[in-house]
Chains A and B, each alone.
Chain A
Amino acid sequence: MILLVAAALAADVAGYVRIMTRPDLEGGDGRLGHWNLYGRLLNEGPYAALELRQSILERKPGSLAPWTDVHVRIEGGTVQGADAQNGSLAFLRLSQLYAQAGNIGLTGVTWRMGTLESNFGDLGLYDMRLAQVLGDTVGGQARLETPGLDLTAGLGDAGFPLKGAEYNTVLSGGVTARVNILDHVELGVGGQGYYEPMVVGNRYAPHSTPRVSYEDYARGEVFESFLRDNPGEMINFPDPVASDARSWKAVGYLGFGGFGPLKWNAIYAHYSLLHPRGHVTETWEGESVDIYAHDLTDERTQFTIGDELQLSVVEDRWDVALAGLYGDYRDGDNDIAPSDDDRTFASVVIRTQVYVSPTVHLLAESSFANETSHNGNQWRNHKDSIFTSDDGASDSEGLEYGDAAERVTWQGKAGVVLNPLGPGIYTRPSLRVLYGVQYSTQNNAFGNSFVESIGEYNDFGNVERHWHNVVALEAEAWF
């Protein structure tokens, strides 16, 4: 911490913070709904990010001389008194560290070593960056910036972000290209590929356990099933077979604006094949084995597209932002169990901000979302849904969860915003007093500590609640 303060005193400091209190009289954890599909407002928790830049050779105006600087970013989603982690430093992370240099070897090229990233922008109402590559890679990157063209290429290792403590090298390379046409149209494309080589003898390298059914894997009963079929033959449990692993993503961006009241419209998309998973450990009758899941998790694809437009309806008096998001996730290995890897979701969010004065604004936002599970029931619509977990019937061995394969959510939010720096939906700092209400087909569709059991030993009882209300006092700032 002392080092951090010392570094901050010597460097340029930038940051982002948001903090809120949302006393929840209905037993929730202070967030209106489950996630940002319903708009980020009132669905996000506290966050703090601090970025330090130390210019070693400063970039001088008008000069093409070499320059270099070092960036360090520390961030995390906890603040004392605002969430369950109570600001613990264990939940903050050193998320970025890189050095970059410009005008060395090639004029106009910025070389970067360390953590990498290239993305086409942010879907602000959802706080999502759909068109992003290299964000999980540590390595080297070159970026060429000219007035109409921006090219980035990077190469490195994504092993730790993808596999954590079960590290194995995952070679990663990505490129993005962005073309700007007369400041009114922008087009961007990019992609990233991952290759995890086969390493015989490394238990964290990609392997597959042969002859495993997906149903046993989903239930966590592969080992149990084997021993039932082959009593006393644990020694003959199939050995994992080594292989390599590949995955990739493609991203795109189309932006246009600067016409009349349309400030800008940005469409972001990505289509990706997720990296296969490693292993899970199963224990049966005191014995444990590792089940290697490469072949059971190598057909997961994700397609997501989002659009956001900003309108200045009345200059410096009334702005509107409208956004939509659609996602289609498929898991070709899984046709039996509902999961977050096999679903479709879509939503729209509209935010309107009226400027009563340059610094006092009125905000209103509404969202409507639909989520559909491809493999049957994933949500509980009623407090006794546990009795109808599979095709309307109770099934303790069923793979479905609850009584609904669809979740429909509506949210409305409104309140007063104080913006010292003036008008603008994205102008910060913002001090906000907001009220939010949600209706969901799912029962208790927000973070909570309710007891879901309906057994006779449940001393707390069950609650049927589809409406949820919160009042928020919050602040958000970039600096």
Chain B
Amino acid sequence: MVLVLSLMALTGCIKPTPPATAEPGLRITVVALAEGAGAAEVVDTPARFDSSILDVLALRGLTAELVEGGRLGPVSAARESSLRVERLRGDFAEGAMLLVETRPGYYAEMNGQYRWVVGVTLTLSASQSRPNQTVEFDVPVFLRYHHQREADAVDAAGGVVARRVGELADDWLRAAGG
């Protein structure tokens, strides 16, 4: 018990750099989608993945509205992020928008774990008149069981993706004077 309390106290003393803060009432539309190898259309990302992104935006004082990827319809035909953003602007968003695209793909089995790679593209469009900020990266994910597929891979990548979303939001808000 002493060890537990000491650890809790120790971890509580570590102060991370505070995130940037948005102006009150600043809204952002978040569009999150997943596309898998062989799948013809984009689908929703898992609920826990979505909430981890919404949480880091809320932490910065942003009012975020989620548009799930499965609702996009014709937008899914576009494969380029900039084209998707352009189409989404007309259909779903007027102000700031964050497009989160995930591409889970199976890699190989390694030491009894199933390795997946989730390709991620984050595109932040602050407004129609400003250039988009885009970040691309891969998240390696290890799943325990064969039945865990694309959705589980995206879900497992949620923590890393949320962290990168937070960094992108910080850059945007600080550049805007937040």
Contact = CB atoms under 8 A, between A and B. Distances in A.
Contact of B107 (A12, A310, A356, A416): A12
B8 interface: yes
A62 B146 contact: no
Contacts, number: 101
Contacts of B144: 121-122, 124, 264, 310, 426
B108 A255 contact: no
A439 B123 CA distance: 57
A163 interface: no
B147 A71 contact: no
B26 interface: no
A422 B40 CA distance: 33
Interface in B4-27: 4, 7-8, 11
Contacts of A53: 107-108
Contact of A357 (B8, B110, B112): B8
A14 interface: yes
A161 to B, nearest CB: 18
A108 B7 CA distance: 50
Interface stretch (B31-39, B53-61, B62-70, B127-135): B31-39
Nearest to A479: B140
Nearest to B10: A360
A108 to B, nearest CB: 8
A428 B142 contact: yes
A-side interface size class: 35 or more
B7 A356 contact: yes
Interface in A174-198: 178, 180, 183, 186
Contact of A127 (B39, B107, B112, B140): B112
A416 B7 contact: yes
A63 B38 contact: yes
Main secondary structure on B side of the interface with A: mixed
Nearest to A150: B146
B7 A360 contact: yes
B115 A14 contact: yes
B176 interface: no
Nearest to A128: B112
Contact of A14 (B140, B146, B147, B160): B140
A356 B117 contact: no
A421 B160 contact: yes
Interface in A443-478: 478
Contacts of A357: 7-8, 11
A64 interface: yes
B109 interface: yes
A478 B145 contact: no
Given A183-B147, A421-B160, A16 B37 contact: no
A222 interface: no
A121 B4 contact: no
A270 to B, nearest CB: 15
B76 to A, nearest CB: 8
A102 B137 CA distance: 25
Nearest to A425: B144
Contacts of B87: none
A356 B1 CA distance: 11
A223 interface: no
A121 B152 CA distance: 16
B10 to A, nearest CB: 8
Contacts of A422: 159
A274 to B, nearest CB: 23
Contacts of B147: 180, 183, 186, 255
A416 B8 CA distance: 12
A266 to B, nearest CB: 7
A71 B109 CA distance: 11
B57 to A, nearest CB: 19
Contacts of B160: 421
Q: Report which residue of A14, A64, A127, A178 has the largest number of chain B beta carbons within 10 angstroms of its beta carbon.
A: A14
A275 B90 CA distance: 68
Contacts of A183: 147
A120 B146 contact: yes
Interface in B137-158: 140, 142, 144-147
Contacts of A117: 109
Given A62-B35, A62-B38, A426-B142, 18 more contacts: A12-B117, A14-B108, A16-B110, A16-B113, A59-B38, A59-B105, A61-B35, A61-B36, A62-B40, A120-B146, A124-B112, A124-B144, A127-B111, A310-B144, A357-B8, A359-B11, A360-B7, A426-B113
Interface of B: 3-4, 7-8, 11, 35-41, 79, 103, 105, 107-113, 115, 117, 140, 142, 144-147, 159-160
8 contacts: A61-B39, A62-B37, A108-B38, A127-B111, A356-B8, A356-B11, A478-B115, A478-B140
Interface of A: 12, 14-16, 49, 51, 53, 59-64, 71, 73, 108, 117, 119-122, 124, 127, 129, 150, 178, 180, 183, 186, 255, 264, 266, 310, 354, 356-357, 359-360, 362, 416, 421-422, 426, 428, 478-479
What are the nearest 3 A-B pairs in CB distance?
Answer: A122-B112, A61-B35, A478-B142
